[in-house]
Structure 1
Amino acid sequence: MISPIFLSILLSSSVQLVHAHGWLGSVTVGSQTFIGNVPNASPTGTVIRQIDDVDPVKGASNAFLNCGQNAQLASDVAQANPGDTVAFTWVNGDDGPWVHNTGPMQTYMTSCGSQDCSSFDSSDASWFKIQEQGRITPGGDWAMSLMNTGAPANVTIPSNIAPGNYLIRHELIALQIAQTEGGAEFYPACVQLTIGGTGTGTPTGDELVKLPGAYSDTDPGILVDAYSNPNADYVFPGPPVAAFVSGNTTDTSATAAAAPSSSTSTSGSCKKRRSVEVVNDVRPRTLSRVMKSLLTQE
């Protein structure tokens, strides 16, 4: 039988791990804000594909690298226009501000073709990159760290993109334990859009990739010691930003607006994250397989 003291330590450790992980809590497309479903809770209408676990996706060949842990189709689709800002607000496992602060952010898109993205199976989709962001300044903090205050990561839809149905995929890669193979933590999330306008911009065939398929666990931007040489150039995994994308950078928060940039520009404004009612919702916890096994012992 597990002693009460040992069980208390295990439960405390589990809560800390859940707190350190997280999901896409909300997204603002243009002027509309959509709240994401709590992982593994009963879904409600939204444009964010719901995941079922706050834990990171581990391994570059993991099928969940596509849109997140067992991501499910969302019921709604956001209306957007070329040049709109999409503000991704990530939260931790307790619905507070994002915790991790080391690693890049990248954004991809894929066409859903003629069908509505609410019924589009993305498992074999072809993705193109529209944004990548690393450190704010050479040797300085990563742009991801700006979200520790609750600020969103703001990404601009390409101003010349062809109209149609698209998934936009935002990805955080946490590198705090990436010194060993398989240590990198991937947090992808997908949002369903219909984009209007009269643009003609599309990616070329060699700019399209599969996810998983675009990364390797030994890529220099995935198997990396992010602390030993902070002045070293970061090598983003995956393809380059598609050539048709103009100003292929991201806005992260007002905090970084005045800071010079090394790999991208940073500007924009913070968005209100979510209503008081949503913040006060009870959040389910996800225990590890080890914890579940221990708790079932007599």
Structure 2
Amino acid sequence: MISAILLSLPLVSLLPVVSAHGWLGSVTVGTQTFVGNVPNASPTGTVIRQIDDVDPVKGASNAFLNCGQNAQLASDVAEANPGDTVAFTWVNGDDGPWVHNAGPMQTYMTSCGSQSCSSFDSSTASWFKIQEQGRITPGGDWAMSLMNTGAPANVTIPSNIAPGNYIIRHELIALQIAQTEGGAEFYPACVQLKVGGTGTGTPSEDELVQLPGAYSDTDPGILVDVYSNPDAAYVFPGPAVAAFVAGNSTATSSSASSATTSSSAVASSSSASSASCKKRRDVVRPRTLSRVMKNLVPQ
């Protein structure tokens, strides 16, 4: 009976479920912008590994925690330099601005070794953290919330990193229902790079982690009520930022120049996001339903 009622509802009534999730719509590396493939659509050339569903990854041991839902190799590689800004523009399931506003953003990198990252299997990669972003101010809004206006999240490639082939992985952890175990929502995305320069910075062996493997569903930053005690210090899951990265980037904010965070970068102005959105307006976007709705709506 319930299924019959749901099936009788207009599809438009189901759209908020889709919009609440999302994907990495575009990335700007230095001065070059690359548009991501729509989840589960026919792929085109890009540097962003394509996922097949806008739903979050659930569970800290989920294999898709690596690069996203069934992430596929991307065909292209972005040229980058130490110190370049990488601007990640996340969108919701309707290609509008990101909607979640509570939870951290973290960025990792892994070396693809001597091979191009376009053919690198990241499932057994060793990752090191280069950035973590929490609240803008103690007890205040999260840096993630700045993306609700369409602004990108800016991350700086370490200025002393050794040249080579790398994947840079940006991760959003939405905590709005993280009060119960398994409630945290993970949104990882992977971008393929080739970094130049003459740096020598590399992580130490004890700073490398597996993904999945670095988190537990009961970690204090994953099983947490961020609303009952907003003044409590947030404990970032995973390793600390690699020691060689320290001091390589600065915090910026579109909403408050004096804002402080426990991170190395904050989402900034929406100009880069606006430019990338214009490039995507003519792209046909198939509707991607959440897994719950797929069980209710005929395909």
Query: Shorter-chain TM-score: what band?
Result: over 0.9
Corresponding letter in the other structure for 2:278: V
Give the whole-Å Cα distance in 2 for the aligned partners of 1:171 and 1:94: 20
2:286 paired residue number: 284
> Are residues 1:202 and 2:202 paired?
yes
Aligned alpha-carbon RMSD (Å): 2.1
> Are residues 1:242 and 2:265 paired?
no
Cα distance change, pair 248–122 in 1 and its aligned pair in 2 (3 A):
same
TM-score normalised by the chain length of structure 2: 0.93
Percent of aligned positions that are identical: 81
1:59-74 superposed matches below 5 A: 59-74=59-74
> Are residues 1:271 and 2:271 paired?
yes
2:130 paired residue number: 130
Deviation at 1:17, TM superposition (A): 1.1
Deviation at 1:16, TM superposition (A): 1.0
Give the whole-Å Cα distance in 1 for the aligned partners of 2:278 and 2:238: 38
Corresponding letter in the other structure for 2:67: C
Deviation at 1:284, TM superposition (A): 1.7
Cα distance change, pair 293–223 in 1 and its aligned pair in 2 (3 A):
closer
1:109-140 Cα offsets, whole Å, 9 max, x none, are 00000000000000000000000010000010
Asked if the contact 1:80/1:195 (under 8 Å) is kept, the reply is yes
Q: The residue matched to 1:48 in structure 2 has which SS? A: coil
Deviates more, 1:160-169 or 1:8-17: 8-17
Deviates more, 1:283-292 or 1:184-193: 283-292
Q: How many residues align?
A: 296
Deviation at 1:15, TM superposition (A): 1.4
Displaced runs of 4+ in structure 1, greater than 6 A?
Answer: 1-4
2:258 paired residue number: 259
Deviation at 1:9, TM superposition (A): 3.8
Corresponding letter in the other structure for 1:281: V
1:166-196 Cα offsets, whole Å, 9 max, x none, are 0000000000000000000000000000000
Deviation at 1:277, TM superposition (A): 5.1
TM-score normalised by the chain length of structure 1: 0.93
1:64-121 Cα offsets, whole Å, 9 max, x none, are 0000000000000000000000000000000000000000000000000000000000
Deviation at 1:8, TM superposition (A): 4.3
1:149 paired residue number: 149
Give the whole-Å Cα distance in 2 for the aligned partners of 1:44 and 1:163: 27
List runs of 5+ in structure 1 lacking aligned partners.
none
1:17-58 Cα offsets, whole Å, 9 max, x none, are 110100000000000000000000000000000000000000
Q: The residue matched to 2:88 in structure 1 has which SS? A: strand
1:31-110 superposed matches below 5 A: 31-110=31-110
Q: The residue matched to 1:136 in structure 2 has which SS? A: coil
Cα distance change, pair 198–266 in 1 and its aligned pair in 2 (3 A):
closer
Q: The residue matched to 1:16 in structure 2 has which SS? A: helix
Asked if the contact 1:49/1:191 (under 8 Å) is kept, the reply is yes
Give the whole-Å Cα distance in 2 for the aligned partners of 1:288 and 1:269: 30
Deviates more, 1:264-273 or 1:56-65: 264-273
Asked if the contact 2:251/2:261 (under 8 Å) is kept, the reply is no
1:223-273 Cα offsets, whole Å, 9 max, x none, are 0001000000000000000000032666464224x1331413556544332
Q: The residue matched to 1:254 in structure 2 has which SS? A: coil
Cα distance change, pair 220–96 in 1 and its aligned pair in 2 (3 A):
same
> Are residues 1:187 and 2:206 paired?
no
